[in-house]
Structure 1
């Protein structure tokens, strides 16, 4: 079970208990009775962990693709609430600690009517999240998703993560210049960096590699680094679910 869902059986059972206890809004769909809660959760986790086609998951569980689709539709919106206690908000961060910040694009299909998802930087469509870790490489926070066309600096401003923080303790790439953060120097137009500035940039980047490792680990959830295929309106909820599961798994 671990290799298909990313969780052992006891953890999946605990997730089932939490999901079954989560507050459900009016009109929330039920998971398919033929699967039950446990298999519906397992199917949803498998989908998120490996981005397998629903028909393939259905075949392994002996049910149809529409049944798997109904299971994913029912379970996914319940996950963020079920694991909310494990997910830190920006206000939970230590204002005196040092953090490394970076953004990453979570890709999806190129929807013709949604140009706001296109990232010129990545030459792909998706949604942007901001990720922070400690200088020791421990994941600390992930923002809510925002349109992929937005730059990292805009995204961090929208998240409000620096509002109560000492930004001088935060480290980022050149995209965050202007926020009093520790960032590399940008080469001046028509000029070159001085030798000490080049060395400074090298040292900053030696620290920044930790956030790249943290993001890479988060993207072990295949659905976060391959094109999202379900309806676009479900993408943000799926991202929130995976963020919650990732913090739950690493707690």
Structure 2
């Protein structure tokens, strides 16, 4: 098998953070000798998450077995996911925002045996639903656990308690028409109904202004999907939550100079 040098578009700070997490975990477990040191295991994990490299390619590049590569990545992902903020912790930052932007995204997956719950009628494909909260500049603030793709965005937001949390904190939140009826502090555009008059000019103007604000939230989703593994998950859908949470932790380390 041929090999070639490649890069990962991340800073050394992110690599050092993950390596230190792995090193601490090994000390706690009094782990014996392993094929890869903490730094190499961290590099292996980042290559998988950011570049989307398969276990077969990683195993060949790092000179280890495929099963070992899978085990090392899973261990590192679980360590990162355990350090991710829950919604209550994230709300401490969100309530300080001028306003928030709420949107949902579908992360594609391979077909599974029980595929009906994961089929999104909106996107016409199988996947998992992740709710994303962005700030006024479109920066990624928080992402929810993954739910089956058949679940509607509004239902997913309610399951996670996002609507109640944002309303309790009185954070003005902009969302698309999929969140109609959310209530509280969530603002959605006017929606034309089939048997009602057309929208007025004022309502159309409000919708345009609303869309300009809401479009910034797409940047947060784009940021999340710069991690190539999320372009299509080929693992068990139940692992999607841990992967998204791990990526959130790495994103915060990468974007914060004080992490």
Task: Give yes or no for TM over 0.5.
Answer: yes
Residue ranges of structure 1 left out of the alignment (5+ in a row): none
User: How do residues 1-251 of structure 1 correspond to structure 2 at under 5 angstroms?
Assistant: 4-22=7-25, 33-81=34-82, 83-84=83-84, 89-92=89-92, 93-94=94-95, 97-166=98-167, 169-180=172-183, 181-190=186-195, 191-224=197-230, 226-251=231-256
TM-score between both structures, scaled by the size of structure 1: 0.85
Mapped contact 2:143–2:248 kept (Cα < 8 A): yes
Q: 1:115 to 1:7 in 2, by over 3 A?
A: same
TM-score between both structures, scaled by the size of structure 2: 0.83
Aligned to 2:3: none
Q: 1:168 to 1:41 in 2, by over 3 A?
A: closer
Q: For each residue in 1:57-86, what CA deviation from the matched residue of structure 2 results, as whole angstroms up to 9, or x when unmatched?
A: 2222223323312221222211123x4369
Q: 1:42 to 1:59 in 2, by over 3 A?
A: same
Could you tell me how far 1:212 is from its partner in structure 2? Answer: 0.5
Counterpart CA distance in 1 for 2:138 and 2:162 is 18
Q: For each residue in 1:126-182, what CA deviation from the matched residue of structure 2 results, as whole angstroms up to 9, or x when unmatched?
A: 211111112232322212222211111011111112324346711110011112322
Residue ranges of structure 2 left out of the alignment (5+ in a row): 1-5
SS in 1 for 2:134: strand
Which aligned segments of 4 or more residues in structure 1 are displaced greater than 6 angstroms?
85-88
Paired residues, what number? 244
Could you tell me how far 1:24 is from its partner in structure 2? Answer: 10
Mapped contact 1:103–1:128 kept (Cα < 8 A): yes
Q: 1:198 to 1:143 in 2, by over 3 A?
A: same
Counterpart CA distance in 2 for 1:23 and 1:62 is 21
C-alpha RMSD of matched pairs (Å): 2.8
